[in-house]
Structure 1
């Protein structure tokens, strides 16, 4: 009787145990699940960084267009030709840099890489100043003005940045017209 009870107890123990192969299969399945979850987390962090920088780049590109529009409007207000300080004299295309502190765009053709890098001041404003001790941001802005005719020109505000060793670019384009000339025809 005791012998039978002992045999049934031993048989139950043998049946309820896991083999080494079963344990390895379970660990493999769990590790696959963890790798999938971790890769999703990493991808989410990278896309958050890209989305944040893309939004900033759009705002910087929009600011570049608005700065040029402000120069054109100031020209009208001051009674001078709408393209004064904007349309390149020697060619049909000019490359410039400009920030909120400037009243006219500056020629960037001498060294566009150095001159177009944006820095950020303590108030959070972005500005161009190659000699400033402020830290560089990952963003650069180049404003390209193309003279199309006597009464209009194209403005491209191109913001570039690098994120996770990949280069990105945002190009915002608009056309500015001398509407006073067009309406007086």
Structure 2
């Protein structure tokens, strides 16, 4: 009888131990999933905030060009070398895709603070073209410089990010295309676990019309 009682007690102890391990495992998994979910939400919120701010910056840079042209008595969509750094020498802002950024050269009058590059006419907005551009001209990935500023240069000593930015300029159309006006779409892609797209849209017009 004593042997049977000891065996039963041993089995009860094993069952209790297994139940305790199961409860602890479930608690640990629940805690891990809760922390992981909170961290994922935090990262997503951070990425969204960065994306929206980057998009708004692109819009403001175009408005800055338009307003500066007005002060200098230039055509509203003129890409003048005194106003912008324009490597491809595109004379006017017209329909198509662009890369635009603040080049932070306010202290040097010979180098404008806004840099704009028109992307190739063959560029199409697909995931593959965003992640694997055919040319440097169409590379839209942003990097962080040593002052934590986003730019397209992406020098070897700069930190690559998972953000991709471009500006789409389209005709403003109601029933017909409107002269002296464009639709601007500042587009930011973020490739972090999933491929997310953020768009800020506005209309820009010639103030003199």
Q: Please report the TM-score for the alignment, with normalisation by the length of structure 1.
A: 0.77
Q: Deviations over 1:124-179 (max 9, x none)?
A: 1111125x222322111100111222121111111112113x11111111111223
Taking the aligned partners of 2:16 and 2:114, their CA distance within structure 1 comes to 74
Match of 1:157 in 2: 186
2:146 equivalent to 1:140 = no
Instruction: Quote how far apart the aligned CAs of 1:81 are.
Output: 1.8
Matches within 5 A, 1:34-183: 34-85=28-79, 86-88=92-94, 93-101=95-103, 102-103=113-114, 105-109=116-120, 113=133, 114=136, 115-129=139-153, 132-133=155-156, 134-148=158-172, 149-164=178-193, 166-181=194-209
**Structure 1 unaligned runs (5+)?**
1-6
Match of 2:83 in 1: none
Aligned length: 164
SS at structure 2 position matched to 1:51: helix
Match of 1:4 in 2: none
Kindly indicate whether the alpha-carbon contact (under 8 Å) linking 1:87 and 1:146 is maintained by their aligned counterparts in 2. Answer: no
Please identify the structure whose Cα radius of gyration is greater: 1
Q: Could you say what the CA RMSD is over the residues aligned between the two structures, in angstroms?
A: 2.5
Instruction: Specify which structure has the higher proportion of helix.
Output: 1
**Structure 2 unaligned runs (5+)?**
80-91, 104-112, 124-129, 173-177
Could you tell which deviates more after superposition, 56-65 or 121-130? 121-130
